[in-house]
Chain A
């Protein structure tokens, strides 16, 4: 999967909880929850959506490794090979 495709996948999962968010709204190096204005319940739903579309289950212990779009892309790329 290319970086762009992966980014699309993540943005689509974000849009499930925050429909009005576009990729251009997200500063890739800022906290993803701040950028998309999502609370802890939204974040769980976002991770569930991402797990369903990508098969990657991000455990709670790894939250610090996925708190920005850039970090999440890296994390996902490593797992999807």
Chain B
């Protein structure tokens, strides 16, 4: 049986990632793994991420030991598997862990397999590796004074007095956002359209729904907006997918990336998968979950949550600006922006009435769709939001 070999590599979690640090293995040689299992924890500019696997098999080799920083695409371990996995050539960037998200491949640096960090030559404990990593030391250049030449903390300790330029997580997130946004604005011809949507029916419906609920069970406006966007998008496939190598590939599943601001600055954009198939309660639970895992230090996001978004939503919340025109996260082709909900006078059948309004914007890739498609989408979304009880 297990006649094929499958490589577990450092994944690219987006247009902005070129390297990552293997922090911890959650598997051992001989372990059976299946699709979706978390096999390792990796540290990226987006924080600590739980790395998932997309193939089942038995762990046959572990090639890189934690804590080691490697380029995206580096082979970290191998699986013996009964199923053949089609891997293109030896371009390490287009390998296994990336196949599910091949859209991102375009942005990944081409890494040759020889670049994988050789292991077995250096004996050092995780503590020592971590310290060396923090100090940007190459352990292979250090002579160990421990048994069998093992490198001990004291062997690298003196270096700690040498000031090493350390980058804070906030700076690193800033740099990642800078790269992705710069790429977007250089390559994607954005068009922008907006529509003031009357959400009075949604606000009234929410008020009724939440009236006798405990805080843990209350629904937020954002959950309703996500559901309405997802169900409307089904008819607008030009807005949901990836633009790769000069052509657009629509995506059947609607995976919505949610812009979450971090308290210490910067943001994360974890995705909720298959939103079009979820109930409002499930969506609310998912928002609660990704928000707490993004914002708390202990909580990790999963690699797929940072790789699989097919469209993004940015919501200003109640304390933001009236509207927001988003910058598309490549290789996606659209981003929807919700301003802060506010009360405005509107004219209804020649009468002035006070309505709850949310200014909704769409920034989309003009290579893939035209403004008229976007406008139709926004109007269809508005219509959907008039009957929240049907969502």
Contacts and interface: CB of A to CB of B under 8 A. Distances in A.
Nearest to B221: A40
Contact of B220 (A20, A34, A44, A48): A44
Interface stretch (A3-11, A22-30, A54-62, A68-76): A54-62
A15 to B, nearest CB: 12
Given A41-B220, A41-B288, A44-B220, A59 B317 contact: no
B215 A44 contact: yes
A10 B222 CA distance: 26
A51 B220 contact: no
B214 A60 contact: no
Nearest to B206: A60
A60 B211 contact: yes
Contacts of A59: 211-212
Contact of A41 (B212, B214, B263, B291): B291
Contacts of A39: 261, 317-319
B283 to A, nearest CB: 13
B384 interface: no
Q: Which interface residue of B213, B218, B288 has the most chain A CB atoms within 10 A?
A: B218
Interface in B190-241: 207, 210-216, 218, 220-222
Interface residues of A, number: 18
A72 to B, nearest CB: 14
B220 A40 contact: yes
Given A18-B263, A40-B222, A57 B317 contact: no
Q: Which interface residue of A37, A44, A48, A61 has the most chain B CB atoms within 10 A?
A: A44
B287 interface: yes
A37 to B, nearest CB: 7
A74 to B, nearest CB: 20
A57 B215 contact: yes
Given A48-B216, A60-B210, A41 B287 contact: yes
Contacts of B317: 39-40
Contacts of A58: 215
Interface of A is mostly: helix
Nearest to A31: B319
Nearest to B316: A39
Given A20-B263, A39-B319, A57 B214 contact: yes
Nearest to A41: B291
Contacts of B213: 60
A60 B220 contact: no
A15 B317 CA distance: 21
Contacts of B292: 45
Interface string B130-151: 0000000000000000000000
B207 A60 contact: yes
A57 B349 CA distance: 41
A38 B19 CA distance: 32
Nearest to B207: A60
A37 B211 contact: no
Contacts of B207: 60-61
B211 A51 contact: no
Contacts of A60: 207, 210-211, 213, 218
Contacts of A33: 318-319
A41 B287 CA distance: 9
Contacts of B319: 33-34, 39
Nearest to A44: B215
22 contacts: A18-B263, A33-B318, A34-B319, A39-B318, A39-B319, A40-B220, A40-B221, A40-B317, A40-B318, A41-B220, A41-B287, A41-B288, A41-B291, A44-B220, A45-B215, A48-B215, A51-B215, A57-B214, A60-B207, A60-B211, A60-B213, A61-B211
Interface of B: 207, 210-216, 218, 220-222, 261, 263, 287-288, 291-292, 317-319
Given A37-B263, A39-B317, A40-B221, 12 more contacts: A33-B318, A34-B319, A39-B319, A40-B317, A40-B318, A47-B215, A48-B215, A51-B214, A51-B215, A57-B214, A57-B215, A61-B211
Interface of A: 18, 20, 33-34, 37, 39-41, 44-45, 47-48, 51, 57-61
Smallest CB-CB A-B distances: 7 pairs: A47-B215, A48-B215, A60-B210, A39-B317, A41-B291, A44-B215, A48-B216
